[in-house]
């Protein structure tokens, strides 16, 4: 029980906001070592305890919505590593070493997809945004980063077991040395390969840009904040930008998600006219997060771009909505279990790739929660996006846990897609990430700030953009199947049938 929980806690501490990325490898190795020789039921139990160790601290931010809901969420999310540990053969070591990274990767792929569209927040890949294997994202996205963490864990545990056996002059360290060395060499070679893999081609010019952060108090829900206060803060921060640009306004000005909150349609409204005048005054492409009420039960969450002439040039509606934040699945059922008054309306799901054609250049939009999903960035880049933008709103979280994980996800997205990225949030974090995943600038939570940047307009495709998650899923599935074949052959050698 104790090693399993400690392994999960170590994985949690590798994530933002703690950021001890190196802990992910010994933590993953500790769990793999603990699975050795366990019966199926006990492997399931060990994996679930590790999941609790990881997700209790990693997902406790959900208590800001509802404590009961947070507990249910954590219990369910912990089942994914539990099932992964169940399907890892107890022995032999070679089969277990092959199955462990594969099973954990497949479990993470499932967790990213189900239930209600998945929840990548809390995934171990986010911790590696600050580590040396980040380049793997351009080859295989978040799943390859996940596989690298658990394969690295096998390497650490195998070599540690060999070292212990040698120090005690007992046992045979040959097999742990072999397993650990193979795993270590594999991770290092793939990381080197990733560092030299195509990163999306060269730059085709640049865009001068600004992310506008209005600032304000954090930890309040939308219903608790006057929309006019949020909007006024954005205008004030934009005026501050005009003092900083020295008469040379940026080509692109990005406002956060949901800073223009309307009880009626945008078209023809005073807000539309005001933002149109602002775009003309700035002589820039102004991209703004807008929510507009459609009916008493529905609303739209969209990103709207005004050109320098004041005309609306592009729109994108958020596709990947936040369950129980922007909509309530099976509202009739869950309404009997909890108070849903804080989510009175459901966001209408958008469609499209996220590509926004603007005078500043083709932009790939991911709205807030969407940045955690690699396919959202990939779809816009495949459609022709040269720069990624992330208008977001994490103001309802009192702590920095979700904002720091969101910035980490932006770093991973930039590497996956081979694109520079600009993020804007009303109270933080706003920031700039280059196509190699380096965080060039980041705001302070709660402060009114303007982040100025020069972004490369990049073309071409990384291997991840070309092929997505499918190759990693196929390899992981083949490795898991192969491990059970090895386990069956080993069992047959240990227990030969009578007469043979």
Cα(42)–Cα(32) distance, integer angstroms: 13
Q: How far apart are the first and last CA of the chain?
A: 41
Of the pLDDT bands very low, low, confident and very high (cuts 50, 70, 90), residue 315 is very high
Q: Point out which residues pair with 212 in neighbouring strands.
A: 450
pLDDT tens column, 20-53: 999 999 999 999 999 998 999 999 999 999 999 9
In the predicted model, is pLDDT for residue 174 greater than 70?
Answer: no
Chain centre distance of CA 185: 27
pTM listed for this prediction: 0.93
For the structural domain made of 203-461, what CATH number should be given? 3.60.110.10
**pLDDT, position 330:** 83
Kindly report the number of other CB atoms within 10 A of residue 490's CB atom. 16
Q: Point out which residues pair with 409 in neighbouring strands.
A: none
φ and ψ of 350, to 5 deg: -85, 180
Q: What is the largest CA-CA distance in the chain?
A: 91
Kindly report the number of other CB atoms within 10 A of residue 25's CB atom. 27
Asked whether the beta carbons of 211 and 430 are under 8 A apart, the reply is yes
Give the side-chain half-sphere CA count within 13 A for 155. Answer: 16
**Encoded tokens for 99:** 């199955």
Cα(488)–Cα(499) distance, integer angstroms: 19
pLDDT tens column, 237-270: 999 998 876 668 899 999 999 999 999 999 999 9
Host H or E run for residue 477:
helix 470-494
**Encoded tokens for 74:** 């954590």
**pLDDT, position 168:** 67
Q: Point out which residues pair with 456 in neighbouring strands.
A: 206
| In the chain, domain spans | 2-197+469-494, 203-461
Q: 40-58 and 24-35 helices cross at what angle (nearest 10)?
A: 160
φ and ψ of 332, to 5 deg: -60, -40
Residue with tokens 């040379």: 248
pLDDT tens column, 104-116: 999 999 999 998 8
pLDDT tens column, 63-119: 777 777 788 899 999 999 999 999 999 888 888 999 999 999 999 999 999 988 999
DSSP secondary structure string for all residues of 349-373? P--S--EEEETTEEEEE--GGGGG-
φ and ψ of 422, to 5 deg: -120, 130
In the predicted model, is pLDDT for residue 444 greater than 70?
Answer: yes
Coil, helix or strand for 461? Answer: coil
Residue with tokens 């990733």: 194
């Amino acid at each position: 029980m104790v090693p399993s929980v400690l392994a999960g806690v170590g994985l949690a501490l590798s994530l933002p906001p703690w950021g001890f990325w190196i802990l992910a490898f010994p933590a993953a190795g500790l769990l793999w070592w603990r699975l050795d020789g366990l019966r199926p039921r006990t492997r399931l139990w060990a994996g679930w305890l590790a999941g609790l160790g990881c997700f209790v601290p990693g997902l406790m931010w959900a208590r800001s919505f509802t404590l009961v809901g947070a507990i249910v969420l954590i219990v369910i999310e912990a089942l994914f590593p539990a099932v992964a540990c169940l399907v890892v053969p107890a022995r032999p070591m070679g089969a277990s070493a092959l199955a462990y990274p594969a099973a954990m990767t497949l479990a993470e792929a499932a967790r990213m997809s189900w239930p209600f569209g998945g929840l990548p927040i809390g995934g171990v890949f986010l911790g590696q945004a600050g580590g040396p294997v980040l380049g793997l994202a351009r080859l295989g996205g978040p799943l390859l980063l996940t596989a690298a963490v658990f394969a690295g864990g096998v390497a650490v545990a195998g070599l540690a077991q060999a070292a212990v056996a040698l120090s005690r002059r007992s046992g045979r360290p040959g097999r742990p040395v072999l397993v650990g060395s193979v795993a270590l060499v594999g991770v290092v070679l793939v990381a080197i390969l990733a560092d030299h893999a195509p990163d999306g081609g060269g730059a085709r010019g640049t865009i001068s840009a600004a992310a506008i952060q209005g600032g304000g108090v954090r930890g309040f829900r939308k219903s608790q904040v006057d929309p006019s206060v949020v909007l006024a803060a954005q205008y004030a921060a934009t005026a501050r930008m005009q003092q900083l640009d020295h008469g040379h306004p940026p080509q692109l000005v990005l406002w956060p998600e949901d800073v223009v909150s309307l009880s009626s349609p945008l078209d023809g409204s005073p807000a539309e006219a005001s933002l149109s005048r602002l775009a003309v005054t700035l002589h820039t492409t102004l991209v703004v997060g807008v929510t507009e009420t459609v009916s008493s039960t529905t609303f739209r969450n969209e990103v709207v771009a005004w050109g320098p002439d004041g005309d609306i040039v592009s729109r994108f509606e958020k596709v990947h909505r936040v369950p129980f934040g922007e909509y309530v699945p099976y509202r009739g059922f869950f309404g009997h279990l909890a108070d849903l008054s804080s989510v009175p309306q459901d966001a209408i799901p958008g469609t499209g790739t996220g590509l926004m054609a603007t005078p500043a250049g083709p932009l790939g939009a991911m709205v807030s929660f969407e940045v955690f999903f690699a396919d959202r960035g990939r779809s816009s880049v495949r459609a022709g996006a040269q720069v990624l933008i992330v208008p977001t709103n994490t103001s309802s979280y009192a702590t920095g846990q979700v904002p720091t994980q969101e910035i980490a996800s932006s770093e991973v997205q930039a590497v996956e897609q081979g694109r520079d990225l600009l993020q804007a949030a009303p109270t933080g974090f706003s920031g700039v990430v280059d196509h190699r995943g380096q965080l060039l600038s980041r705001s302070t939570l709660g402060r009114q700030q303007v982040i100025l940047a020069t972004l490369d307009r990049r073309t071409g495709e990384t291997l991840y953009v070309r092929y997505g998650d499918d190759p990693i899923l196929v390899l992981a599935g083949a490795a898991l199947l192969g491990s059970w074949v090895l386990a069956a052959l080993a069992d047959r050698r240990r227990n030969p049938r009578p007469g043979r």
